[in-house]
């Protein structure tokens, strides 16, 4: 019997309220008011206080100086994330612009979807597209001039229609003008970044029951529903957490001296991407669409046989999931991982972390599963003795 594991995530509320999210403008305004009360040199925490991580000292919530320190920390989160996003966007624009310019040198337009959400990136692409169109127009004009010169040297008239205005060049110029106008009229973000003043590490996430201020809690379990690895993330989506969770699983097994290799890993469509389907690690079955759509497709398209055809990683995975062996293996996913989350959230009523901060939430999530694992092992030992 092959060694199976299942990976999934669930949203756990933070020890914070959705109503406590504020943007940088609001925070700076309140900081200015508190500065007038506290002064720059006032200490933000009581002397000699050494609270547990994730537990606020009384001074941090009961004094103007403590609130000032909390607001400054929240403002630092916004500024750091804004700077990181701006740097990533600048790097993407630079990469796209350089690629477009390199293609324009050869009179070619850069392939791929044009940026429409970022006016600066759209303007850079339009400039490169005009350069490419101009290069093509100059090449055609040079070829026409060479033909005219050759005809004159031979003493014969030039045949063929006289070329009119270059339509592609005119379209590129018009597109550039529109891009410039859009860049000039670009407005700041309608919804500025916000941070939670109670737990700045937490994030607003969506669940089937609505929005929650919390974290994305991940777990990997075996067929006995023993949690082998767990983590807490600020990322609302699962797709970027597949490789980090597998790295954490490797670390956990190594630390525990477990040498058995994982032969097959099951994950739902939230983890589906070409990168996750092709990255190093154990064999995997990752749904390419939601489970109910996966089952409907299996009924309507029937099973497949043989090795997967040459195609994209997603097409190959779709083939594997429709084989009798793949369908039977993937069917076990929900019965492995979902009862674990159901036990934690329904039976033990753990729907909210008690401590604040992502490191404290990680420790609490690990402790929750440690208790669950001990309980599972105790039940197994008791059943053997009975």
Count of positions (residues) in the chain? 386
Q: Is the pLDDT of residue 225 over 90?
A: yes
CA distance 385 to 248: 34
Q: Which of 261, 253, 232 is nearest to 244 (CA)?
A: 232
Determine the angle formed by the axes of helices 64-104 and 24-38, rounding to 10 degrees.
Answer: 140
Q: Do residues 144 and 273 share a domain?
A: no
> Does residue 313 contact residue 277 with C-beta atoms inside 8 Å?
yes
Q: Which residues pair with 349 in a beta bridge?
A: none
As for how many domains the chain has, the answer is 2
Q: Do residues 212 and 120 share a domain?
A: no
Burial (CB count within 10 angstroms: exposed 0-12, middle 13-18, buried 19+), residue 328: exposed
What is the average pLDDT across 44-66? Answer: 55
Instruction: Give exposure, 341-351, as e/b (b: 16+ Cβ within 10 Å).
Output: beebbeeeebe
How do residues 314-341 score in pLDDT, each as one tens digit?
889 988 988 888 889 999 999 999 999 9
Residue 268's pLDDT is what? Answer: 93
Q: Do residues 309 and 175 share a domain?
A: no
What is the average pLDDT across 284-295? Answer: 81
CA dihedral for 303, 309, 315, 317, sign (positive or negative): positive
Phi, psi of 108 (to 5 degrees): -120, 145
**3-class SS at 332?**
coil
Domain that holds residue 370: 4-14+201-385
**Domain final position from 197, 231, 262:** 197
Q: Is the pLDDT of residue 240 over 80?
A: yes
What is the C-alpha radius of gyration for the chain, rounded to an integer number of angstroms?
30
Q: Is the pLDDT of residue 303 over 80?
A: no
Q: Do residues 153 and 229 share a domain?
A: no
Q: Do residues 247 and 161 share a domain?
A: no
Q: Do residues 189 and 277 share a domain?
A: no
Residue 299's pLDDT is what? Answer: 64
What is the average pLDDT across 22-30? Answer: 92
Q: Do residues 191 and 306 share a domain?
A: no
Q: Do residues 205 and 191 share a domain?
A: no
Residue 48's pLDDT is what? Answer: 47
């Amino acid at each position: 019997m092959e060694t199976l594991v299942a990976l999934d995530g669930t949203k756990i509320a933070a020890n914070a309220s959705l109503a406590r999210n504020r943007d940088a403008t609001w925070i700076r305004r309140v900081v200015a008011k508190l500065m007038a009360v506290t002064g720059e040199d006032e200490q933000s925490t009581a002397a000699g206080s050494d609270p547990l991580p994730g537990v606020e000292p009384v001074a941090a919530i009961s004094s103007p100086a403590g609130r000032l320190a909390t607001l400054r920390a929240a403002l630092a989160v916004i500024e750091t994330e804004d700077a990181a996003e701006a740097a990533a966007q600048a790097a993407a624009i630079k990469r796209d612009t350089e690629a477009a310019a390199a293609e324009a040198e050869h009179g070619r337009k850069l392939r791929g979807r044009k940026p429409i959400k970022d006016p600066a990136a759209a303007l850079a692409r339009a400039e490169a597209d005009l350069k490419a169109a101009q290069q093509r127009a100059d090449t055609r004009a040079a070829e026409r001039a060479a033909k005219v010169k050759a005809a004159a040297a031979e003493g014969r008239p030039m045949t063929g229609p006289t070329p009119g205005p270059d339509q592609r060049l005119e379209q590129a110029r018009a597109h550039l003008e529109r891009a410039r106008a859009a860049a000039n009229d670009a407005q700041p973000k309608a919804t500025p970044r916000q941070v939670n003043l109670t737990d700045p590490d937490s994030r607003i996430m969506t669940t089937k029951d609505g929005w929650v201020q919390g974290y994305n809690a991940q777990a990997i379990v075996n067929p006995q529903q023993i949690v082998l690895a767990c983590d807490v993330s600020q990322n609302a989506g699962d797709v970027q957490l597949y490789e980090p969770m597998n790295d954490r699983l490797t670390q956990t097994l190594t630390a525990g001296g477990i040498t058995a290799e994982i032969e097959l890993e099951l994950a739902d469509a939230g983890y589906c991407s070409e990168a996750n389907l092709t990255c190093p690690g154990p064999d995997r079955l990752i749904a390419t669409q939601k489970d109910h759509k996966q089952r409907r497709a299996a009924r309507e398209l029937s099973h497949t046989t043989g090795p997967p055809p040459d195609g994209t990683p997603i097409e190959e995975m779709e083939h594997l999931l429709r084989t009798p062996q793949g369908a039977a293996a993937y069917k076990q996913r929900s019965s492995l991982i979902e009862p674990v989350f159901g036990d934690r959230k329904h039976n033990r009523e753990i729907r909210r972390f008690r401590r604040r901060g992502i490191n404290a939430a990680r420790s609490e999530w690990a402790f929750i599963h440690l208790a669950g694992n001990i309980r599972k092992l105790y039940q197994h030992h008791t059943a053997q003795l009975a």
